[in-house]
Chain A
Amino acid sequence: GAGVSQSPSNKVTEKGKDVELRCDPISGHTALYWYRQRLGQGLEFLIYFQGNSAPDKSGLPSDRFSAERTGESVSTLTIQRTQQEDSAVYLCASSFGGSGEKLFFGSGTQLSVL
């Protein structure tokens, strides 16, 4: 597709379950970002991938969060043993190059942990 694609668009899960969120960036974009937006808050940086460089995981809030990216394509964000405070919109963005001057965002995954 022409834009950043995220799936699922909505996910409802029970506390303690694992969830996997998927991001398909724009073809040719070497950089990929995950952000989280809790209700009433700004976007919170989670993780950054750039080409074959080691990812910047400095924003991951706990060891329950992990993310992978296969080459310069699809990325998955996994949250293990979900907690209610994990409820948020998870946004993926990609850019051509790692300068961060123009990010293209997906529509996000709304995660609700009951």
Chain B
Amino acid sequence: EPEVTQTPSHQVTQMGQEVILRCVPISNHLYFYWYRQILGQKVEFLVSFYNNEISEKSEIFDDQFSVERPDGSNFTLKIRSTKLEDSAMYFCASSGGKGGSPLHFGNGTRLTVT
């Protein structure tokens, strides 16, 4: 069964540094998402992406965040200048259709900002 893959599984970075989290969605999917989970808290929506543009974003997704689909397979989340509070598990997800299609999640990238 096809899966969403995320790399790296764990990223450690210093405060103020830029990080790029990478995701390869399922190949025929058209809708892409990033969610995050701070340790001990709930999974939170960050952004949805469709047709090469952001379709919706949450309050968390401020100017420090950006997403990109640089080629036909990758979907990236960039944090320009990391803060301690960005430490979290970041999940990429994709779906084949709009609201009715289930989300397929990746295994997540654990980001630790020191």
Q: A and B from one assembly? A: no
